[in-house]
Structure 1
Amino acid sequence: MHLFIEVIIRTGVAFILLLVVSRILGKQTISNMTFQDFVSGITLGGITANLAFNTSINRWLLILALIVFFGIAYLSSFISLKNRTWSKWVSGTPTVIIENGKILEGNMRKIRYTMDSLIQNLREKNIFNMEEVEYAVMEDHGKLSVKKKSEYELVTRKDLQLHVASLKSFPVELIIDGKVLEENLAQNNLTREWLESEVRKHDKAISDVFYAVKGTQNNLFFDYYHDGIHNPIDPG
């Protein structure tokens, strides 16, 4: 029984420590997985896993190892911000795969990137014809960035000389799952009274609203608990 309690406590401590470390290291670690982030993630995961389950190793030694490695990862990230050479070495650099519509086989061999992978990544970007591609770059986090040739680019409102509505504000969520987000109201100089009056314009009450958001053009969108859809589509 004592062992079970110890594992529970160690697992909880490991989770909290890993969460704190991840928050301090920043969103980069979970969004753009560079070489440095990959190594950091694997090592931190290994240390915390041992902290949680490996009762044969002193927990304080594992916590010390976690803190030391966190310090190394944090220092490396800090140096990367200040030193371009170090950043290139630990994170890598982008590699051009296609230039002016021509596939650079030499660059592909350098990073051990196959044609099958290239074709698959292009398909994932809805590109099925190689002739559409002008440039393709393998980013340092392993994702492919593609620029199509001009004749294959999508037409924009600017191309058609149509009026483009500018962004008036960032979307502000007002109600989620029936709960008014008072903090969002306060941050945007909105009041609960104003929200209630807007809801009443639709002959509804706050308790009827499942989700509400103030959009980029200051337009309000409401979704209600009772949508009046009696036979919803269920593809399953």
Structure 2
Amino acid sequence: MRNIFIGLLFFAGIYSFAQEAGKAGELLRNEASATEMQSAKSKGLDNRNDNSNNSGFRNPNNQNNRGRNPNYQWNQNYGYSEVFLRIPEMGYFTVELGDQVISNNSGKYRFFDLQSGRVPISIYDNGFLIYRTTLQLRNNNRLVLDFFTNNGLYLLDSYPVQSQSYGFNDWNDVWNDLYGNNQSGNWNNSGNVMDHNTFRQFFLMFDKEPFDDGKIAMINQQMRNSQFTSEQIRDLVKSISFDKNKIMLAKSM
């Protein structure tokens, strides 16, 4: 009887930490109409580039290519954002985000070099549009999302992009940790106090955030990786607009 009771407690613990569709994050409303979802998207390649029939690879004997200089843009600087989307279902999906498209059956869709601002995202299943909405991207930020065909698209987190983020041993933790399944310990660097130069870089980005909620979210994300000194905490709290938010932040730090 005792073994049965222990077994039930064990399975109850596993179930309580299991990920569930729609359990975490903010639901982003589907903006696709019923009519749009009835017709399949053409699989033809995009033809927006104004270079039809003039490629030296397609037409090596084309006399027009001689002396022609393509319009190279070596240093395009229009902002930088990232979006990490997971579709934890077996199947081949296509995700269109702004002017980028990714198709695979791995369930992981990672977009880089995105312009900041309002960017449309569309999700296709077998060529049919099943979900479309608009994301608000911030410069030097990453959005983490989950999509479920029966539940919708959920925004799990948004945080500043940091160079050390690319040292993850397990990319899946980007999603899994947001469900409270943090078992790797990668985020708990309690002894890592932020140095002065790193803090100034963080504070410059932090100070550009206009709303208290956004600033507090940035601080909470940073605290997963490092600690602040008392002087740094003072500067951060001082930058918060409302007194009640200052008190709440000071207590949490």
Q: TM-score range by the shorter chain?
A: under 0.3
Question: Is the radius of gyration larger for structure 1 or structure 2?
Answer: 1
TM-score by length of 2: 0.20
TM-score (norm 1): 0.21
Q: Which has the higher contact order (CA 8 A, sep 6+)?
A: 2
